[in-house]
A and B are shown apart, each in its own frame.
Chain A
Amino acid sequence: MTATSRRIVLRALVLWGGLALLLVLPPAAALADQPFYLTLVTRMLIFAIAALSLDLILGYGAMVSFGHAAYLGVGAYAVGILAYHGVNAAWIQWPVAIVASALVAALIGLVSLRTSGVYFIMITLAFAQMLYFLGISLKIYGGDDGLTINARTDFGGVIDLASNVVLYYLVLAVLLGFLLLGQRLIASRFGMVIRGAKSNERRMRALGFPTVRYRLVAFVIAGTMCGVAGVLLANLTNFTSPAYMHWTRSGELMVMVILGGMGSLIGPIFGAFALLALEEVLSSYTQHWQFILGPVLILIVLFAKRGIYGLLGAARESAAAGPPAAGPPHG
């Protein structure tokens, strides 16, 4: 067996084995009487959704959005505010959250995509910060302290989210659905345009593609997916707060994408699991775990750019297309 085919087998083993583990986790956690792990892995899966959505624009479109956590907050606040006013029905909460995060992404994208490079990074950061301060100033919805949600989304008896196990499987289903959707999107003509604009914007424009419009659509899709992650996060924690939108959260999402392997969609899922597991382990040893995590991040950026998924020999989008520019190149 050649090295390449061994790698392919190894990768298939890791992926299908990982999926099998995820499927049997709830009964296993129940048997071992460790409900904590069910909550932890649900959290990991939710952040995997958010990281995957960021990878769509970061890995494939070279849009370095430093404000992606804003949509987590929009989704979570949509659930929180509706629940505060006594609306728990899924058929209202979900569409409102989806439309709200799409709208916010469209507005942010409209302004930020006018710029490129480091401007794009700073502007997405500043907009997320603006929403963070908006959350703090919403005194009737808890302001700085956040808003407790007294009931999870009500699916009218079809799915009972009050059970943590049901919520877990819903989150897993959403993640797998978004993964498939993302892969279809990347392989489609639309995805080709986005990737083409990443490697040579001017040529794509010369071919007649309105690249900014394509980017905006990708930006909105990614924001909406992350909004759904926010809905799930609010359901998991029964809580929403401005902290979901804090800029360090956006930074963590970027770290997850890089750690797992940018431009692979599956990689960021590994990244989310790895980062949250690392945080969990470090914080059990010392309260100063960020003192260790910071330098670890620097080392990863300097020496392990291909990420965990890259170690498994997966072909990476940016390996073929050269190093990503920060933000859409201007032209």
Chain B
Amino acid sequence: MVIDPQLLAFQALNGLQLGVMLFLMAAGLTLVFGIMNLINLAHGSLYMVGAYFAATLQGWSGSFVLAALLAIPATLVLGVAVELVVLRTLYDRDHLDQVLATFGLILFFNEAVRIVWGPSALFMTTPDFLSGQVALPFGIIYPSYRFAIIAVGLAVALFLYGLISHTRVGMLIRAGASNRAMVGALGVDVKFLYTAVFALGTALAGIAGLMAGPILSVESGMGEPILILTFVVIVIGGIGSIRGAFMGALLIGVVDTLGRSFLPGLLRATFNPQVANAAGPALASMLIYILMALVLAFRPQGLFPARAA
């Protein structure tokens, strides 16, 4: 089988786009885990609520930019409320309690959006200034909106790098990740730090939800598929590491997208069509989990562990 290079480039960009979305989610999840030692299954729910807020605001105002400007702070406020009411009591609990309580939160939020917005999916439109296509070198044409997602994701990554490596807040975050008790003993308001970090993670999930709105349908339960992919990302990258989250997210995004688009064809070229038609999609959907198993088999702490063991 000959792979069309333009199609390959197009799908690679799609993989990159999925990768930066995963990074927005993984960065928040991994920060919260690294600093508060909290495993928050409801992170996907914040993403979902962010998308619902954005879809509603866009519906009212007709403006994507206005929706973005309001939906992200609204998601952030909701996230802080959840932190203050429920999650704060979970920091000192074991992981099992955290999993179960945040599982309860997921059930609550999935049903809450059905009550508020009804059972059918909402749809967002791409803003006019991003509805066209961009022409890239080598004759590759790519939708502007998806290109914008990649740009936003990379900009956020750069911002996080600057924030964490070069500011006082970032220093506290890093210090908190390596020794929470010591940071508290040195007189830092740890509770406030936790809330601030959680708010940052929520805002990132809100951005991801907003950006996903126009390319996916906004519906109850949309947070879970991306949450589970995000878990795979953090496990591969190394829990607590922003750099690991970034590399892991791009790797998973590209492998998943390319696997789904080319693996069935490659199999058809090698095996008889009947086998390939049955095994191709199955194998493609399992590819990232196999990749994760391989990474774990050789590097159980992930590719970029936050702390040297």
Closest to B289 in A: A130
- Check if B231 sits within 8 Å of A122, measured CB to CB: yes
**Does B152 belong to the interface (CB within 8 Å)?**
no
- Check if B107 sits within 8 Å of A126, measured CB to CB: no
Known: A294-B107, A302-B89. A118 touches B101 (CB 8 A): no
**Does A90 belong to the interface (CB within 8 Å)?**
no
Chain A residues closer than 8 Å to B239, beta-carbon distance: 118-119
Stretch at the interface among A10-18, A41-49, A174-182, A319-327: A319-327
Chain A residues closer than 8 Å to B100, beta-carbon distance: 251, 254-255, 258, 297, 300-301
- Check if B103 sits within 8 Å of A118, measured CB to CB: no
- Check if A290 sits within 8 Å of B107, measured CB to CB: yes
- Check if B231 sits within 8 Å of A114, measured CB to CB: no
Cα distance A288–B110 in the bound complex, in angstroms: 10
CB-defined interface of B263-306 with A at 8 Å, one 1/0 digit per residue? 00000000000000010011001100110110011001000000
Secondary structure class of chain B's binding surface, majority of residues: helix
- Check if A66 sits within 8 Å of B286, measured CB to CB: no
**Does A127 belong to the interface (CB within 8 Å)?**
yes
**Does B142 belong to the interface (CB within 8 Å)?**
no
Q: How far is the CB of A319 from chain B (nearest CB, A)?
A: 14
**Does B111 belong to the interface (CB within 8 Å)?**
yes
How many residue pairs between the two chains, A and B, have CB atoms under 8 Å in the bound complex? 136
Closest to B100 in A: A301
- Check if B231 sits within 8 Å of A125, measured CB to CB: yes
**Does A173 belong to the interface (CB within 8 Å)?**
no
Most-contacted residue by chain A among B93, B95, B100 (CB, 10 A):
B100
Most-contacted residue by chain B among A130, A248, A258, A294 (CB, 10 A):
A294
Chain A residues closer than 8 Å to B286, beta-carbon distance: 130, 133-134
Most-contacted residue by chain A among B89, B94, B95, B96 (CB, 10 A):
B96
Known: A126-B289, A291-B108, A326-B94. A119 touches B282 (CB 8 A): no
Closest to A296 in B: B104
Q: How far is the CB of A31 from chain B (nearest CB, A)?
A: 37
Chain B residues closer than 8 Å to A139, beta-carbon distance: 278, 281
Number of interface residues of A (CB under 8 A): 50
**Does B106 belong to the interface (CB within 8 Å)?**
yes
| CB within 8 Å of B: which A241-274 residues | 247-248, 251, 254-255, 258
Out of A129, A133, A291, name the residue touching B112 (CB < 8 Å): A291
Q: How far is the CB of B108 from chain A (nearest CB, A)?
A: 3
Known: A115-B300, A119-B300. A297 touches B103 (CB 8 A): yes
**Does B212 belong to the interface (CB within 8 Å)?**
no
**Does A162 belong to the interface (CB within 8 Å)?**
no
Q: How far is the CB of B119 from chain A (nearest CB, A)?
A: 9
Chain B residues closer than 8 Å to A258, beta-carbon distance: 96, 100
Number of interface residues of B (CB under 8 A): 44
Q: How far is the CB of B94 from chain A (nearest CB, A)?
A: 5
| CB within 8 Å of A: which B76-134 residues | 86, 89, 93-101, 103-112, 114-115
**Does B234 belong to the interface (CB within 8 Å)?**
yes
Known: A254-B100, A301-B100. A64 touches B95 (CB 8 A): yes
CB-defined interface of A92-130 with B at 8 Å, one 1/0 digit per residue? 000000000000000000011011011101110111011
**Does A331 belong to the interface (CB within 8 Å)?**
no
Chain B residues closer than 8 Å to A300, beta-carbon distance: 100
- Check if A294 sits within 8 Å of B39, measured CB to CB: no
- Check if A297 sits within 8 Å of B104, measured CB to CB: yes
- Check if B101 sits within 8 Å of A122, measured CB to CB: no
- Check if A66 sits within 8 Å of B224, measured CB to CB: no
**Does B33 belong to the interface (CB within 8 Å)?**
yes
- Check if B296 sits within 8 Å of A111, measured CB to CB: yes
CB-defined interface of B21-40 with A at 8 Å, one 1/0 digit per residue? 00000000000010000010
**Does B245 belong to the interface (CB within 8 Å)?**
no
Known: A134-B285, A291-B108. A122 touches B235 (CB 8 A): yes
Q: How far is the CB of A32 from chain B (nearest CB, A)?
A: 33
Cα distance A251–B107 in the bound complex, in angstroms: 11
**Does B205 belong to the interface (CB within 8 Å)?**
no
- Check if A119 sits within 8 Å of B235, measured CB to CB: yes
Cα distance A327–B300 in the bound complex, in angstroms: 14
Closest to A127 in B: B289
Chain A residues closer than 8 Å to B111, beta-carbon distance: 288-291, 294
**Does B155 belong to the interface (CB within 8 Å)?**
no
Out of A58, A122, A248, A324, name the residue touching B234 (CB < 8 Å): A122
Cα distance A66–B96 in the bound complex, in angstroms: 10
Q: How far is the CB of A172 from chain B (nearest CB, A)?
A: 28
- Check if A251 sits within 8 Å of B103, measured CB to CB: yes
- Check if A290 sits within 8 Å of B289, measured CB to CB: no
- Check if A121 sits within 8 Å of B105, measured CB to CB: no
Instruction: Supply 17 further A-B pairs (C-beta < 8 A) apart from A251-B99, A302-B97.
Output: A58-B96, A64-B99, A115-B296, A118-B39, A118-B95, A119-B239, A122-B231, A126-B232, A130-B286, A254-B100, A291-B108, A291-B115, A294-B106, A295-B108, A296-B104, A301-B101, A327-B95
* Residues of chain A whose beta carbon lies under 8 Å from any beta carbon of chain B: 58, 64, 66, 111-112, 114-115, 117-119, 121-123, 125-127, 129-130, 133-134, 136-140, 247-248, 251, 254-255, 258, 288-291, 293-298, 300-302, 305, 323-327
The 8 A-B residue pairs with the shortest CB-CB distance in the complex, in nearest-first order? A326-B95, A294-B108, A297-B104, A294-B107, A130-B289, A291-B111, A137-B282, A133-B285
